[in-house]
Each structure stands twice: as C-alpha cells, then as structure tokens.
Amino acid sequence: NFIATIEKNNPSINAFLEINKESALSQAKKIDEKIKNGLKIGSLAGLVFGIKANINVEDRIISAASKTLENYYGSYDATVIKKIKEQDGIIIGMCNMDEFAAGSSTESSYFGATENPAAPGHIPGGSSGGSAAAIASEMCDITLGSDTGGSIRNPASHCGVIGFKPTYGAVSRQGLLDLSMSLDQIGPLSDNVSGISMALDTIVGYDETECTSLNQKFPSFTDIATQGHEKLQEDVKDMKVLCINQFKDVTDEHINKIIDESVDKIGDMGAEVVESSFDYIDLCLPTYYLINYVEFFSSTRKYDGRKYGHKIEDVCGEEVLRRIEMGSYISQQEFSGKYYKKALQARSLIRNEINKLLSDVDLILGPTVPKLPHKIGEKLEPMEMYAYDVLTVIANLAGIPAGSMKAGEYNGIPVGLQLQAKPNDDDKIIKTMAALE
C-alpha cells in the first residue's frame, strides 16, 4: 500500500531520496513467515518506517542530502536502526533533509526541495522536512528525524504532524552523522501519539557504545498513550503548565491565537495555567549558532575527500560552507576564549533559567515556530532563516524533551503547539499530547 502511495506521490513531493522496495518486501515476508510458524513477532511488526538520510542504515545511501556523500553507502546499522529491525519494523527508505541537517526548510538538499503536503507550495520546514512530509502524505507510519535546534519539531509543525525530541542522551546517537554533537538528538515523527510512543519505547535506552548516552529507565510510552481519554485527562488535570510572555512577543499574532486556544483546552481539562518571563530569549540564537558552527566545523574535518566521498568544501552548498568558514574562524580565535567559551557560559545561563522555570511546573507550552512557512524558492537571508529556530533551540541548549503537535491552521497552513518538560519527564509530554489528540 505504502509503496503504491510513494510511487505515485513521491515524484512531486520528494520526501524520499531512496526507496528500498525489495528489502522492505523481504522484511515483510519474514514477518509473515514468523506468524505462520507461530513465532513471536516484534512490537513494531508491520509498521513502516522512513529514516532521515543522516542515520546509518546498512547498504543504503547515507548522503545527508549532500553531494559530498552522494555515493556513500552505510556500512552498518545505527543503534536505533538495529533496535527497529529487532522489533520487526520495516524500513522503506531514506528521507530528504537540509544538507547535513543545517537548515530549517529542506531547500538546501542537493537533491532538491521537498514539498509541504499540508500546505502545497510552501516549505515543509526542516531540516527533517522529508521525514515530516512522508508522514503528512501518508507514505509510511513513522519516520525518524534528528533534532539539533528544532529539526524534528519545526517540520512537524509546518506539516501538521507530531514530532518528538527526547531528553538529550535518552536515545543513542551512535550512527548519526552529527551536526552539533552536544545538541543532536534522534526522535520520531508520526501522525498519532501512539506511533510516536511505540517508536520511543523501541529506541530509548542506554547504549554503552555512545558516550552521551543516558542510563535512565523510562515508563512504557505506549501504555501511557493508550490508557484512554478519561485517565489521560485525569493526569492532565493535576498538571501545572507555564506560558512564557517572551515566546508570544516573538511570534506572529495569528499563531499566538491558535496556541492560546490549545492552552485553553488544557486549562479546561483542569490544569493550572500560569505565566512567567524568560529574560534570555535574545541570547538563544547567537548561543546556539556559535556552538553549532564550531562543533559542525570539527565534525566535517573527516570529509576531506580521502575516506568519504568528495572534499566537503569543494561541493557543498552555501549554508554548509558558511558554517565551516565561521566555525573555522571561531575555533582559531579560541585561544583567547573569545566566542565558544562565552557561548558555553551563555548556554549554562539559559539552561539554569529554564530549569528554574520548570522546577515549579510540569510543562512549558507555546508555539513551535514563530512564523508561518514561506513559499518554496522565496530566498530568505540567513538571519531570517535562523529566526525560525528561536523557540526550538532552547530545548536543545537545555537538553530537555520537547514535542510538537498540530494545534490548528491559519489559512490552511498547519500551526504546531510545542510542549517542553524537565529532563526525563518525556512521559508528561506524551500524556498531554495523547489527551489533546
């Protein structure tokens, strides 16, 4: 079924860069055989996955949507992929993205932009735009994306689907081509909370091969998501949720209106809604991009044309080149502790302030993206593009979990509600999203 939909719609949407028809069919056959022989099947049996093209899947092209790696075949399965395969999830193909995940629109893919199925003619958001568009156009059940500064939540918001970035370290990043290793996190996208939960239950967990992996036990997210509306609303009733004034100040008024309605719904379930300020909002983007430039620069040094594909500087697009050049410059200045060290200090400030705000509440609620998506091809200045990220980078800088789900539409364009919680309180976000669904 999905194969037929992909073959029909992918040429115009460009959500998938590569489709593994044969291998998907043979995986499905294996499951059928297991069932026929009375063997136990995995928890993801029959669910079809799309994977962002920066996560290693054996024998697939892991291009990160760059010419640099256009001929690079994954030589192993990333930890998350191993886990999905163990649970009989079927991997159908690799999803389009911004080159090396550096962007918010999926327009910087070497393989062309992705169309937003929910708002034709507009960008799907990014950088996991293919992963969100594949869900919005019903080409598969669940996709994986990576989120460094919003790349799961931003496209989820623009395409009207659900996206979830777990607590930093909750999901192994082993096998992910990193953009910024101190911020990156892998997470799922789907059109329902139970899909998100089943994927999370599979991919979370300690990985001894990964140095940032967290040794933390999480409850079953699937049990939570499927416990029935009454019970979910009971749980939400006991929550205290926070809206931040500065989030509203930077956001388009039409988006604010839709978000207010969602917050009211949560209030109507009995949750206590409070307001507060976050004074470091202007610090977030400069801090994020400084760290991103430096860490990305360092991670690209292996793409020198010897072991992997082409030399990155020779073939990459302008945003990737900007980050390499800036990252190189900042790193050179670092002996005097001029930028990166300051950025790390700013990050501590932001993290402490967010944790302080969260210490008194269960969730922070607000918009995911401060403005509506632009039309594909409309050329934005880098600063305008970065401005999309102001509300999403906070969760990465603070290492906290965050999800986005559709709150409503403005002129037919989806608008996402963002829910953020304390580290390891991922279940509270799942609960609330399931209660709202």
| Residues annotated as part of the active site | 52, 127, 151
- Are 219 and 330 in contact by the 8 Å Cβ rule? The answer is no
Report residue 54 as tokens.
Answer: 């920066």
Coil, strand or helix: which one is 49? Answer: strand
114 lies in the site for ligand GLN, by CB under 6 A: no
389 lies in the site for ligand GLN, by CB under 6 A: yes
Q: To which residue do tokens 């500064």 refer? A: 149
399 lies in the site for ligand GLN, by CB under 6 A: no
Report residue 430 as tokens.
Answer: 């799942």
Stretch that binds ligand GLN, among 88-96, 101-109, 298-306, 348-356 (CB under 6 A): 101-109
Coil, strand or helix: which one is 163? Answer: strand
Stretch that binds ligand GLN, among 6-14, 100-108, 240-248, 404-412 (CB under 6 A): 100-108
- With CB under 6 A, what is the number of residues at the site for ligand GLN? 14
Among 10, 79, 148, 202, binds ligand GLN (CB under 6 A): 148
CA distance 357 to 157: 24
Distance, CA of 411 to chain centre: 25
188 lies in the site for ligand GLN, by CB under 6 A: no
Report residue 26 as tokens.
Answer: 């043979």
Helix runs in 87-161, H state only: 129-136, 153-159
To the nearest whole angstrom, how small is the minimum distance from the Cβ of residue 235 to ligand GLN?
A: 30
CA distance 190 to 403: 11
Stretch that binds ligand GLN, among 65-73, 99-107, 117-125, 402-410 (CB under 6 A): 99-107
Nearer to ligand GLN by C-beta: 155 or 366?
155
* Helix (H) or strand (E) run with residue 94 in it: strand 90-95
Report residue 331 as tokens.
Answer: 């790193």
To the nearest whole angstrom, how small is the minimum distance from the Cβ of residue 145 to ligand GLN?
A: 8
287 lies in the site for ligand GLN, by CB under 6 A: no
96 lies in the site for ligand GLN, by CB under 6 A: no
404 lies in the site for ligand GLN, by CB under 6 A: no
Among 149, 195, 327, 403, binds ligand GLN (CB under 6 A): 149
- The residue type of 420 is Q
To the nearest whole angstrom, how small is the minimum distance from the Cβ of residue 31 to ligand GLN?
A: 32
Of all residues in the shown chain, the one whose CB is closest to ligand GLN is: 151
CA distance 258 to 25: 42
Nearer to ligand GLN by C-beta: 183 or 236?
183
262 lies in the site for ligand GLN, by CB under 6 A: no
Nearer to ligand GLN by C-beta: 218 or 288?
288
127 lies in the site for ligand GLN, by CB under 6 A: yes
CA distance 346 to 49: 38
Stretch that binds ligand GLN, among 96-104, 199-207, 263-271, 305-313 (CB under 6 A): 96-104
Among 101, 123, 204, 236, binds ligand GLN (CB under 6 A): 101
Among 77, 88, 147, 425, binds ligand GLN (CB under 6 A): 147
Terminal-residue alpha carbon distance, the chain: 25
To the nearest whole angstrom, how small is the minimum distance from the Cβ of residue 212 to ligand GLN?
A: 16
CA distance 191 to 31: 24
Query: How far is residue 160 from each of residues 142, 256, 390, measured CA to CA in Å?
Result: 14, 16, 19
Residue 127 preceded by cis peptide, ω within 30: yes
| Residues in touch with ligand GLN (CB under 6 A) | 101-104, 127, 146-151, 179, 292, 389
